[in-house]
Every structure is written in C-alpha cells, then in structure tokens.
C-alpha cells in the first residue's frame, strides 16, 4: 500500500461519503445498529492507519465495502463476542423493524451469503462480477447466490401474499 497522508477535508469527505454505506452493509451482516456503528469506526480507523491510496472512486467504494465485510466477519468470529453479553441485550431499544411481508423483512431472513449479494446487487447497484471482486469470490458463485437468493425471496414473499 502506498503511503498517503489524509488532511482534515479528505477525512471529512470520506466520512460523509461512505459512513451510511458502511453502516448499511454492516447492519446487513450483524443486524445490530450499535455493532454496525462500531464496524464503521473500525473501517475508518483502518483507512487512516493503513494510508490506503485509491486509483478511482470505484476502487475507493469497493475498498470500503470490502473492509466493512471483513470487519463484520472478524467481529462475528471473535472469541470476545462469544464470551460476552452486552448490557444492550437487556435494555436495548430495537431498531425499527421492517413490516411483515415487506421485501426488507424477507431479505433479512435470508442466509447471510444470499443477503449480502442481493443487497449489493439491488441496493448498491453492483454487477455479479463487481460483487465477486469486492467479496473475493468467483463470479459464477455470486451468480448462483443471486439466483438462489432471489428464488428464496420469491418463495418467502409468495407465501406472504397468499
């Protein structure tokens, strides 16, 4: 990675541009607003400490998504997480729930591997090839996950409509 010093204006631009994206991607993985906020901070901290240089705005956005997904995976697999229970488990005010029968509610019920690719494809506008590159997967695998995820969503939503 090439060294690059970030000035205050550049840091503010990055935060203003990508914080919502990182929060949405993290929430898709973790289903917790507080954990998603922690991941957002982790991603920006990593960006500032690694001094990553970007070739284009697309590279910058892809890096942010990849860093967020990796941080979520690290968080989900951490030993600390499996041995602790936060105070919010007892008194957390839940995030607004998606209405039963809505597309978002059905999307949240999908397994993570389908949920993430469908989110990136339909909500962020990435192609299967771009998603594969971001997630470090084979493009054919992403295509299969999109197909299977759409099929599962169809079954879930059709069941709600009957």
Q: Model pTM? A: 0.57
Closest of 65, 66, 76 to residue 30, by C-alpha: 76
pLDDT of residue 113: 87
pLDDT of residue 99: 55
Structure tokens at 110: 């999908």
The length of the chain in residues reads 162
pLDDT of residue 1: 39
pLDDT of residue 53: 83
In sequence order, what DSSP letters do the residues of the chain get, joined into one string? ----PPPHHHHHHHHHHHHHHHHHHHHHHH--HHHHHHHHHHHHHHHHHHT---SSHHHHHHHHHHHHHHHHHHHHT-HHHHH---THHHHPPPPPPPPTTSHHHHHHHS-HHHHHHHIIIIIS---HHHHHHHHT--HHHHHHHHHHHHHHHHHHHHHHH-
pLDDT of residue 2: 42
Mean pLDDT per 10-residue section of the chain, whose length is 162 residues: 63 90 91 90 89 87 93 82 56 52 76 89 90 91 93 79 44
pLDDT of residue 147: 95
């Amino acid at each position: 990675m090439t060294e690059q010093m970030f000035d205050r204006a550049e840091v503010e631009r990055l935060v203003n541009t990508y914080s919502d994206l990182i929060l949405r991607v993290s929430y898709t993985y973790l289903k917790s607003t507080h954990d998603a906020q922690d991941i957002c901070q982790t991603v920006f901290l990593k960006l500032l400490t690694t001094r990553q240089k970007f070739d284009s705005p697309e590279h910058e956005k892809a890096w942010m998504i990849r860093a967020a997904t990796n941080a979520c995976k690290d968080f989900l697999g951490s030993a600390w997480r499996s041995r602790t229970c936060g105070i919010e488990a007892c008194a957390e005010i839940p995030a607004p729930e998606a209405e039963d029968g809505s597309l978002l509610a059905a999307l949240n019920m999908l397994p993570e591997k389908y949920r993430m690719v469908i989110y990136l494809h339909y909500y962020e506008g990435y192609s299967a090839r771009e998603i594969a590159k971001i997630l470090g997967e084979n493009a054919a695998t992403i295509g299969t996950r999109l197909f299977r995820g759409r099929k599962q969503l169809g079954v879930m939503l059709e069941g709600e409509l009957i």
